Amino acid sequence: MEKDFHYDIIYSIARLTECDNPEIIAHASQFVDDNNERWLGDDIPFPEKIPYPTGGHYFPIMTQSMSVLSVDPYIQKFVYIPFHFLPGDDAALTIGGMTNTLSTTPNSSNAQFLLNNALASMNPYKVGIALHTFADTWSHQNFTGMQEDWNVVDTHNLKKYVIPAIGHAHAVHHPDVISETWTDLRLDADNRQIVNADRALDAIEKIYTAMRRITGNGPDWATAKPRYEGIVQASDFNSRTEAVARLVADECNNEAVHAYDKDAWVGAVLQRSGLSIEFKPGVTLKNTDWYQFNQAAKEQLSIVLGLIKDL
């Protein structure tokens, strides 16, 4: 999924079901993708640790990788799998007579556990991060977060010798774009054509139902469904975000979708110092969104490692 789902659609669901802090939930959901190597410029690597002014260090967690670091098995194990390619029900798909315990499946028992645990806490940072991972079980289904032949979509395409078969890299961005229809040649002929809008609507229904169950507020799914059907059928990214904005305005007294700034949480806490990163003077770290997001992400990593025995 892309920002139109991870932020805009998630914001609309949180708002319609009257969750507390919908802007934090949506921001955390999208920030999972933006919390990568490119914080304060391409020339500064993601910091292993950031020094406290009074001594000691804080160790942030990266939740996405957009660089050559993706070939590192540790990035695959501890970034891609816990946040983007959550292993599901390994018997759900057979490729070449084989199953894969690390393959992502939509709405799997692991995904449900992760989301329900976050919703029970009502910590908006945990909820947002879990919603990102939960939604990705639809768009990333049948792929794993590791580099392996399982992820080779077309064995006759020369890209398999050039592009590492990590996640859906061989399918490029097609699985993430709601308006795309694409072909997964690994699947049986009857199931090869993938209509992303269908997958997205199913994800929306499961998320909407789960969040409404917690709050007890908002229109029921039967009432909300036609609006979301229109959103996923929109022709492109901008049309979808405009449709989400109209939905929120119609249902929430002309309210606008809260604006997203990918640099806001980092910029409130950190600054460049040459080619390194340091805390801004006077910051009370534990009161910041950036710190709360990091702590929630670390907790999700811990939970996933407990769920995935084959990792």
* Token pair of 49 as six digits: 């640790």
106 in a structural domain: yes
97 pLDDT higher than 90: no
Residues 52-63: tens digit of each pLDDT: 989 999 999 999
> Strand pairing of 193-195 and 181-183?
antiparallel
Q: Establish if 84 belongs to a structural domain.
A: yes
Query: What's the mean pLDDT in 158-170?
Result: 84
Packing angle between helix 124-139 and helix 22-34, nearest 10 degrees? 50
Q: Tell me, yes or no, whether 124 lies in a domain.
A: yes
Question: Which residue is listed with tokens 């770290």?
Answer: 285
Local confidence band at 159 (pLDDT 50, 70, 90 cut-offs): low
Contact between 264 and 31 (Cβ < 8 Å): no
The pLDDT > 90 percentage for the chain reads: 84
Give residue 290's identity as a one-letter amino acid code: W
Per the CB < 8 A criterion, the answer to whether 134 and 140 are in contact is no
Alpha-carbon gap, residue 130 to 124, rounded angstroms: 10
pLDDT tens digits for range 253-287:
999 999 999 999 999 999 988 888 999 999 999 99
> Is 164 inside a domain boundary?
no
Per-residue pLDDT for 143 more than 70?
Answer: yes
Confidence (pLDDT) at 213: 97
Tell me the HSE value of 159 on the side-chain side, using a 13 A CA sphere. Answer: 13
E strands within 189-262?
A: 193-195
Give 84's strand partners. Answer: none
How does residue 76 score in pLDDT terms, banded at 50, 70 and 90? very high
Q: Please tell me the distance from the alpha carbon of residue 237 to that of residue 228, in angstroms, as a whole number.
A: 14
Q: What DSSP line would sit under 241-288, residue for residue?
A: HHHHHHHHHHHTTTPPPPP--TTHHHHTTEEEETTEEEEPTT--GGGS
Q: How confident is the model at residue 89 (pLDDT cuts 50, 70, 90)?
A: confident
Whole-model pTM over 0.75: yes
Mean local confidence (pLDDT), 5-31: 98
Q: What percent of the chain has pLDDT over 70?
A: 97
Rounded Cα gap, residues 5 and 186, in angstroms: 26
Domain assignment present for residue 36? The answer is: yes
Per-residue tokens: 46: 């993601």
Q: Which of 39, 88, 29, 52 is nearest to 297 (CA)?
A: 29
Domain that holds residue 100: 3-149+195-307
Q: For position 250, what pLDDT does the model report? A: 97
Mean pLDDT score, 144-163: 84
The three-point CA angle 144-78-44 to 5° equals 115
Q: Determine phi and psi for 252, rounding to 5 degrees.
A: -130, 45
Six-digit token string for 286:
């534990």
Of residues 98, 99, 101, 76, the one with CA closest to residue 88: 101
Distance from the Cα of residue 110 to its chain's centroid: 15
Report the C-alpha gap between 157 and 280 in whole angstroms. Answer: 49
**pLDDT given at position 310:** 63
**179 occurs within a structural domain:** no
Listed range (54-68, 152-166, 179-193, 221-235) with the worst mean pLDDT: 152-166
pLDDT per residue as tens digits for the range 98-120: 899 999 999 999 999 999 999 99
Query: Is residue 239 assigned to a domain?
Result: yes
Residue 166: is its pLDDT beyond 80? Answer: yes
| Sign of the alpha-carbon torsion through 117, 122, 123, 129 | positive
For residue 100, being part of any structural domain is answered with yes
Signed CA dihedral, 20, 26, 27, 29: sign only: positive
| b/e map 102-128, b = 16+ CB within 10 Å | bbbbbbbebbebbbeebbeeebbbbbb
* Residue 158: pLDDT band with limits 50, 70, 90: low
How is residue 280 written in tokens?
């801004």
Q: Is 201 helix (H, G, I), strand (E, B) or coil?
A: helix
Joined together, the tokens standing for residue 228 give 């979301």
Which residues face 270 on adjacent strands? 279
pLDDT at position 154, please?
Answer: 84
> For the chain, what is the domain count?
1
